[in-house]
Amino acid sequence: MKTRSLKASEITKDWYIADAEGKTLGRFASEIAKVLRGKHKPTFTPNMDMGDFVVVVNADKVKVSGSKETDKTYFKHSGYIGSTTNTRLDHMRRTHPERIVEKAVWGMLPKNRLGRAIINHLKVYAGADHPHAAQQPKELDI
Protein backbone atom coordinates (compact mmCIF):
# COMPACT_ATOMS: atom_id res chain seq x y z
CA MET A 1 0.00 0.00 0.00
CA LYS A 2 1.18 3.48 -0.79
CA THR A 3 0.25 6.78 0.75
CA ARG A 4 -1.00 9.10 -1.96
CA SER A 5 -0.36 12.80 -1.68
CA LEU A 6 -2.38 15.30 -3.67
CA LYS A 7 -0.82 17.76 -6.04
CA ALA A 8 -1.74 21.43 -5.93
CA SER A 9 -3.57 21.11 -9.26
CA GLU A 10 -5.85 18.37 -7.86
CA ILE A 11 -7.20 20.47 -4.98
CA THR A 12 -10.72 21.84 -5.36
CA LYS A 13 -11.87 24.77 -3.27
CA ASP A 14 -15.54 25.31 -2.46
CA TRP A 15 -17.27 28.37 -1.02
CA TYR A 16 -19.28 28.22 2.20
CA ILE A 17 -21.37 30.81 4.01
CA ALA A 18 -21.77 30.79 7.79
CA ASP A 19 -24.19 32.89 9.82
CA ALA A 20 -22.71 33.99 13.16
CA GLU A 21 -25.97 35.24 14.64
CA GLY A 22 -26.51 33.71 18.07
CA LYS A 23 -23.41 31.47 17.89
CA THR A 24 -20.80 31.30 20.65
CA LEU A 25 -17.55 32.88 19.47
CA GLY A 26 -15.02 30.15 20.31
CA ARG A 27 -17.05 27.18 19.09
CA PHE A 28 -18.00 29.06 15.93
CA ALA A 29 -14.39 30.06 15.22
CA SER A 30 -13.05 26.54 15.69
CA GLU A 31 -15.48 25.15 13.10
CA ILE A 32 -14.56 27.93 10.66
CA ALA A 33 -10.84 27.23 11.21
CA LYS A 34 -11.41 23.53 10.53
CA VAL A 35 -13.06 24.27 7.16
CA LEU A 36 -10.43 26.88 6.23
CA ARG A 37 -7.63 24.43 6.99
CA GLY A 38 -9.30 21.58 5.09
CA LYS A 39 -9.52 19.12 7.97
CA HIS A 40 -13.08 18.21 7.02
CA LYS A 41 -11.85 16.61 3.77
CA PRO A 42 -10.72 12.98 3.58
CA THR A 43 -7.67 14.02 1.53
CA PHE A 44 -6.32 16.42 4.18
CA THR A 45 -2.59 17.07 3.93
CA PRO A 46 -1.08 19.14 6.77
CA ASN A 47 1.54 20.92 4.65
CA MET A 48 -0.79 22.14 1.88
CA ASP A 49 -3.51 24.75 1.58
CA MET A 50 -6.45 22.41 1.02
CA GLY A 51 -9.20 24.36 2.74
CA ASP A 52 -12.23 26.11 1.34
CA PHE A 53 -13.34 29.73 1.28
CA VAL A 54 -15.67 30.81 4.10
CA VAL A 55 -17.92 33.88 4.11
CA VAL A 56 -19.13 34.88 7.59
CA VAL A 57 -22.15 37.16 7.85
CA ASN A 58 -23.73 38.84 10.90
CA ALA A 59 -20.40 38.97 12.73
CA ASP A 60 -21.72 41.75 14.95
CA LYS A 61 -24.30 39.35 16.47
CA VAL A 62 -21.88 36.68 17.70
CA LYS A 63 -22.27 35.81 21.40
CA VAL A 64 -19.72 35.46 24.18
CA SER A 65 -20.34 33.77 27.51
CA GLY A 66 -19.95 35.14 30.99
CA SER A 67 -18.57 38.64 31.50
CA LYS A 68 -16.28 38.53 28.46
CA GLU A 69 -18.16 41.43 26.87
CA THR A 70 -16.46 43.84 29.27
CA ASP A 71 -13.49 41.77 30.52
CA LYS A 72 -11.98 40.39 27.28
CA THR A 73 -9.28 42.60 25.79
CA TYR A 74 -7.35 42.57 22.53
CA PHE A 75 -3.65 43.41 22.83
CA LYS A 76 -1.79 45.37 20.15
CA HIS A 77 1.80 46.64 20.04
CA SER A 78 3.30 48.81 17.32
CA GLY A 79 6.91 47.89 18.06
CA TYR A 80 7.80 51.18 19.69
CA ILE A 81 8.59 51.41 23.39
CA GLY A 82 5.51 51.95 25.52
CA SER A 83 3.06 51.83 22.64
CA THR A 84 0.78 49.04 23.78
CA THR A 85 -2.97 49.23 23.28
CA ASN A 86 -5.64 47.13 24.93
CA THR A 87 -9.09 47.23 23.34
CA ARG A 88 -12.13 45.78 25.09
CA LEU A 89 -14.54 43.48 23.31
CA ASP A 90 -17.52 45.82 23.67
CA HIS A 91 -15.55 48.67 22.05
CA MET A 92 -14.39 46.35 19.23
CA ARG A 93 -17.99 45.27 18.65
CA ARG A 94 -19.03 48.92 18.21
CA THR A 95 -16.14 49.96 15.96
CA HIS A 96 -14.96 46.89 13.98
CA PRO A 97 -17.24 43.87 14.69
CA GLU A 98 -15.73 41.77 11.90
CA ARG A 99 -12.33 41.78 13.63
CA ILE A 100 -13.76 39.79 16.55
CA VAL A 101 -14.33 36.74 14.36
CA GLU A 102 -11.13 37.29 12.36
CA LYS A 103 -8.94 37.35 15.48
CA ALA A 104 -10.67 34.31 16.97
CA VAL A 105 -10.14 32.27 13.80
CA TRP A 106 -6.55 33.48 13.37
CA GLY A 107 -5.77 32.24 16.87
CA MET A 108 -6.71 28.72 15.75
CA LEU A 109 -4.61 28.62 12.59
CA PRO A 110 -0.87 27.83 12.31
CA LYS A 111 1.45 30.80 12.74
CA ASN A 112 3.54 30.35 9.60
CA ARG A 113 3.31 31.18 5.90
CA LEU A 114 0.65 28.50 5.43
CA GLY A 115 -1.53 30.07 8.11
CA ARG A 116 -1.08 33.51 6.56
CA ALA A 117 -2.22 32.11 3.20
CA ILE A 118 -5.20 30.33 4.75
CA ILE A 119 -6.53 33.39 6.61
CA ASN A 120 -6.93 35.17 3.26
CA HIS A 121 -9.73 32.71 2.43
CA LEU A 122 -11.86 34.09 5.27
CA LYS A 123 -14.30 36.86 4.37
CA VAL A 124 -16.13 38.44 7.34
CA TYR A 125 -18.98 40.95 7.15
CA ALA A 126 -20.79 42.67 10.01
CA GLY A 127 -24.22 42.63 8.37
CA ALA A 128 -26.19 40.11 6.37
CA ASP A 129 -25.07 41.42 2.95
CA HIS A 130 -21.95 40.17 1.17
CA PRO A 131 -20.55 40.58 -2.36
CA HIS A 132 -19.84 36.86 -2.93
CA ALA A 133 -23.19 35.74 -4.35
CA ALA A 134 -21.56 34.95 -7.73
CA GLN A 135 -19.55 32.14 -6.10
CA GLN A 136 -22.81 30.45 -5.03
CA PRO A 137 -21.66 29.56 -1.49
CA LYS A 138 -23.17 26.55 0.23
CA GLU A 139 -24.67 26.85 3.69
CA LEU A 140 -22.26 25.72 6.44
CA ASP A 141 -24.00 23.88 9.27
CA ILE A 142 -22.37 24.95 12.52
Q: What is the CATH number of the domain that holds 44?
A: 3.90.1180.10
What pLDDT does 95 receive?
97
Which residues, at least 6 apart from 21, have a Cβ–Cβ distance to it below 8 Å?
58, 61, 62
Domain range for 123: 8-69+95-128
Longest CA pairwise span in the chain (Å): 58
Q: Does residue 84 belong to any structural domain of this protein?
A: no
Q: Does residue 20 belong to any structural domain of this protein?
A: yes
Q: Does residue 3 belong to any structural domain of this protein?
A: no
Q: Does residue 32 belong to any structural domain of this protein?
A: yes
Q: Does residue 117 belong to any structural domain of this protein?
A: yes
pTM over 0.85: yes
Q: What is the number of alpha carbons within 13 Å of residue 102 lying toward its C-beta?
A: 16
Tens-level pLDDT at each residue, the chain (142 residues): 888 888 889 999 999 999 999 999 999 999 999 999 999 999 999 999 999 999 999 999 999 999 999 999 999 999 999 999 999 999 999 999 999 999 999 999 999 999 999 999 999 999 999 999 999 999 998 8
Structural domains of the chain, count: 1
